[in-house]
């Protein structure tokens, strides 16, 4: 089941407000509709920079 973009954004805002400090949030991804509902793994590779709260990552999905 696909969710409307507004529903996803609202859910992300609610999660971000109460997420533990050690949880990472990845947003602004594109082409997610091209992924199957199941059968893939997600990875996000950030650069190692101390003291920065947000930073672009190389994000990719691997199909199983």
pLDDT tens, residue by residue, 40-57: 999 988 777 777 767 788
Measured CA to CA, the distance from residue 30 to residue 12 in angstroms comes to: 16
Measured CA to CA, the distance from residue 42 to residue 24 in angstroms comes to: 13
Provide the pLDDT for residue 3: 56
Which range has the worst mean pLDDT, 11-15, 38-42, 58-62?
Answer: 11-15
pLDDT tens, residue by residue, 29-39: 888 889 999 99
Measured CA to CA, the distance from residue 62 to residue 64 in angstroms comes to: 6
Q: What is the mean pLDDT of the chain?
A: 80
* pTM for this entry: 0.53
Mean local confidence (pLDDT), 13-39 = 82
Measured CA to CA, the distance from residue 4 to residue 21 in angstroms comes to: 27
């Amino acid at each position: 089941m696909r969710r409307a973009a507004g529903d996803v954004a609202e859910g992300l805002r609610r999660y971000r407000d109460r997420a533990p400090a050690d949880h990472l949030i990845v947003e602004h991804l594109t082409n997610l509709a091209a992924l199957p509902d199941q059968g893939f793994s997600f990875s996000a590779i950030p650069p190692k920079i101390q003291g920065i709260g947000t930073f672009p990552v190389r994000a990719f999905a691997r199909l199983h």
